[in-house]
Amino acid sequence: MIARLRGVVLEKDAEGAVIDVQGVGYLVNFSTLALGKLPPEGQTVDVRVRTVVREDAFDLFGFLTRAEEELFLLLNGVSRVGPRMALGVLSGMEVPELVAALSRGEVARLAKIHGVGKKTAERLVLELKDKMKNVHLEAVSRGTAPIPVSGPQSDLVSALLNLGYKPPQAEKAAELATSRLGADASFQVLFREALKSLRAGA
**Is there a contact between 11 and 30 (Cβ–Cβ < 8 Å)?**
no
Give the pLDDT confidence score for residue 198 in this predicted structure: 85
Q: CA-CA distance, 156 to 174, in Å (whole number)?
A: 6
Q: Which domains does the chain have, with CATH numbers?
A: 4-63 (2.40.50.140), 66-143 (1.10.150.20), 152-199 (1.10.8.10)
Average of pLDDT values for 183-202? Answer: 78
Rounded to an integer, what is the distance from CA 186 to the centroid of its chain?
11
pTM for the complete prediction? Answer: 0.69
Q: CA-CA distance, 22 to 185, in Å (whole number)?
A: 40
AA letter at 57: A
- pLDDT tens across 1-53, in order? 788 999 999 999 887 999 999 999 999 999 999 998 999 999 999 999 999 88
- What's the mean pLDDT when you consider all of the chain? 84
- pLDDT tens across 58-93, in order? 899 999 998 899 999 999 999 999 999 999 999 998
Q: Where does the pLDDT of residue 169 fall: very low under 50, low under 70, confident under 90, or very high at 90 and above?
A: confident
Dihedral over Cα of 16, 80, 113, 34: its sign = negative
Q: What percent of the chain has pLDDT over 90?
A: 50
Give the pLDDT confidence score for residue 57 in this predicted structure: 76
